[in-house]
Amino acid sequence: MTDSPSPSLVDITSLAKRRGFIFPGSEIYGGLANTWDYGPLGVELKRKIKDLWWETFITRRSDMLGLDASIISSEKIWATSGHLTGFADAMVDCRTCHSRTRADHLIENYFEKKGENKKVEGLPLPELTKIILTNKIKCPSCGEANFTEVRAFNLLFPVQLGILAGMDNTAYLRGETAQGMFTNFKNILDSTRVRLPFGVGQLGKSFRNEITRGQLTFRTVEFEQGEIEYFFDPKTQNWEELFEIWLAEMKHFVTDSLGVRAENLQVREHTDAERSFYSKRTVDLEYNFPFGFKELWGLAYRTDYDLKAHAEATGKDLSYTDPTTEKKFLPHVIEPAVGIDRLLLMVLCNAYWHDEKNNRVVLKLLPKLAPYTVAVFPLVKNNPELMDQAKAVLSDLSPHFHTTWDDRGNIGKRYYYQDEMGTPFCVTVDYQTLKDNTVTIRDRDTTKQTRLALDKLAKYIQTQLK
């Protein structure tokens, strides 16, 4: 079996739509930019990825706790965290066709086409304007070099609460889940018996008014994050070591839990301009998406910046008291933050396989990630005995595995359909089943069919899932 060349984004987008993983948002009304809906298979895959993340980083660890903070949050939180003023993308407008583009992406793409790898995120706005003007960079939509100067556009979504006229009831959809961990820090200390070092993790939606298009679910206005704030005492714990441990955990999750090929990963150190002023070190774990190596998972050492800022703004004591020395201090924090939608997109890209020999497209998902684990088919639809027996097999397997049923078309077409959905096992009930209680089980990747006794079927599938 040979791996086909990496799929294009068109391959992925069309399979995702064809088989019900991802649909364009608001499609029947002409679509809404940067929004996507997860279809019947997408929602299963996403749920499995999130469950794995939660099990790996929360449930199976005694030093981790979970949280589910509110999406709508006080304006004051975002003022303190710096998001109200500093959470902005540098944008330019084309004076000719009026399209708006992210300045850093415009410049980086320009240099990438010339074979140069230039990172400009975080540079001062006048400097970005200068680079665009001196290089006479052209608008990707109309081809004219006629841009405005670069301006900052805030990414937060305001929402109006209540109906009281004349009062400012502005709150915000959270721009990251992380702030919930800091604003609840005291509640967590007071309601649990945790000791440093410990982490708080959260899975949930975040919102950013982003405008970049054309990369499927890579960059959307509404997305799901899995963020961890790992609190520690900087006097007793070496942050550099902790940082490396977390980086290794992130890579391990991607390669071992999600089955992604390690050669498609790279770690990129943030430049000084790009790194937040309070962060001592930030790296991005990047995946080689069809549009190049891009951020999948960020890892940052945020010091005690956030707890300190919230303590100062609220006057609340957010310190931790060491139980042995009774010393009070603000813990420092390391933050691994991942986008679940990017994990899912990566999993789809990694699994996509054009099997040229058998002329089929296969999603070689790890069996534990596949939306359906087993498909059950009666060989033909018009034989009541076969149908009854196949339904009995389905109901035997359903309590143990995520199953699906198909009795349409011929067996070859059914296999083709299941291969594209990533279903690892197809069980066919045929005439021989009626005689000797055996069925065929077909392996998605090898297409090999094995005949098995019905009473051995569940055990066989179970062992393959490990």
Name, in order, each residue with C-beta under 8 angstroms of 263's C-beta and a sequence gap of 6 or more.
Answer: none
Name, in order, each residue with C-beta under 8 angstroms of 14's C-beta and a sequence gap of 6 or more.
Answer: none
Token couple for 393: 């097999």
Q: Tell me the closest approach of the beta carbon of residue 411 to ligand ATP, in angstroms.
A: 39
Helices (H) and strands (E) in the chain, counts: 15, 24
Counting contacts by CB under 6 A, is residue 46 touching ligand ATP?
no
Q: Tell me the closest approach of the beta carbon of residue 298 to ligand ATP, in angstroms.
A: 4
Strand partners, 403: 374
Counting contacts by CB under 6 A, is residue 208 touching ligand ATP?
yes
Instruction: For the chain, report the end-to-end CA distance as a whole number of angstroms.
Output: 22
Residue located via tokens 């924090």: 333
Q: Tell me the closest approach of the beta carbon of residue 212 to ligand ATP, in angstroms.
A: 8
Counting contacts by CB under 6 A, is residue 174 touching ligand ATP?
no
Which of 19, 186, 275, 342 touches ligand ATP by CB under 6 A? 342
Counting contacts by CB under 6 A, is residue 57 touching ligand ATP?
no
The rounded distance, in Å, linking the Cα atoms of 377 and 375 is 7
Which of 176, 229, 420, 430 touches ligand ATP by CB under 6 A? 176
- In the bound state, the residue with its beta carbon closest to ligand ATP is 339
Interface with ligand ATP in residues 117-156 (CB under 6 A):
none
Q: Tell me the closest approach of the beta carbon of residue 294 to ligand ATP, in angstroms.
A: 7
The rounded distance, in Å, linking the Cα atoms of 310 and 83 is 13
Cβ–Cβ contacts within 10 Å for residue 417, how many?
18
In sequence order, what DSSP letters do the residues of 82-96 get, joined into one string?
A: THHHH-EEEEEEBTT
Counting contacts by CB under 6 A, is residue 53 touching ligand ATP?
no
Question: What number of CA atoms fall less than 13 Å from residue 152's CA on the CB side?
Answer: 15
Q: Which range of residues in 14-22, 241-249, 333-341, 414-422 is near ligand ATP by CB under 6 A? A: 333-341
Q: Tell me the closest approach of the beta carbon of residue 225 to ligand ATP, in angstroms.
A: 5
Interface with ligand ATP in residues 406-465 (CB under 6 A):
none
Q: Which range of residues in 46-54, 125-133, 338-346, 350-358 is near ligand ATP by CB under 6 A? A: 338-346
Counting contacts by CB under 6 A, is residue 179 touching ligand ATP?
no
Q: Tell me the closest approach of the beta carbon of residue 100 to ligand ATP, in angstroms.
A: 16
Name, in order, each residue with C-beta under 8 angstroms of 90's C-beta and a sequence gap of 6 or more.
Answer: 102, 103, 104, 125, 128, 150, 151, 152, 153
Reduce the secondary structure of 18-44 to three states and give it as a string: HCCCEEECCHHHCCCCCCEEECHHHHH
The rounded distance, in Å, linking the Cα atoms of 1 and 32 is 40
Toward ligand ATP, which CB reaches closer, 104 or 419? 104
Token couple for 296: 């999948």
Toward ligand ATP, which CB reaches closer, 213 or 381? 213
The C-alpha torsion from 57 through 58 and 63 to 69, rounded to 10°, is: 120
Query: 326 near 334, Cβ under 8 Å?
Result: no
Which of 107, 131, 333, 338 touches ligand ATP by CB under 6 A? 338
Interface with ligand ATP in residues 222-241 (CB under 6 A):
223, 225
Q: Which range of residues in 24-32, 334-342, 355-363, 433-441 is near ligand ATP by CB under 6 A? A: 334-342
Name the residue type at position 80.
Answer: T
Three-state SS for 175?
Answer: coil
Toward ligand ATP, which CB reaches closer, 350 or 428? 350
Q: Which range of residues in 215-223, 251-259, 353-361, 381-389 is near ligand ATP by CB under 6 A? A: 215-223
Which of 12, 171, 337, 441 touches ligand ATP by CB under 6 A? 337
Q: Tell me the closest approach of the beta carbon of residue 302 to ligand ATP, in angstroms.
A: 11
Among 271, 287, 163, CA closest to 218: 287
Q: Tell me the closest approach of the beta carbon of residue 122 to ligand ATP, in angstroms.
A: 10
Interface with ligand ATP in residues 266-325 (CB under 6 A):
295-298
Q: Tell me the closest approach of the beta carbon of residue 103 to ligand ATP, in angstroms.
A: 13
- By rule CB under 6 A, what count of residues binds ligand ATP? 16
How would you class 193 by CB atoms within 10 Å of its CB: exposed for 0-12, middle for 13-18, buried for 19 or more?
Answer: exposed
Q: Which range of residues in 72-80, 254-262, 331-339, 415-423 is near ligand ATP by CB under 6 A? A: 331-339
Q: Contact positions toward ligand ATP, by CB under 6 A? A: 176, 208, 210, 219-220, 223, 225, 295-298, 337-339, 341-342
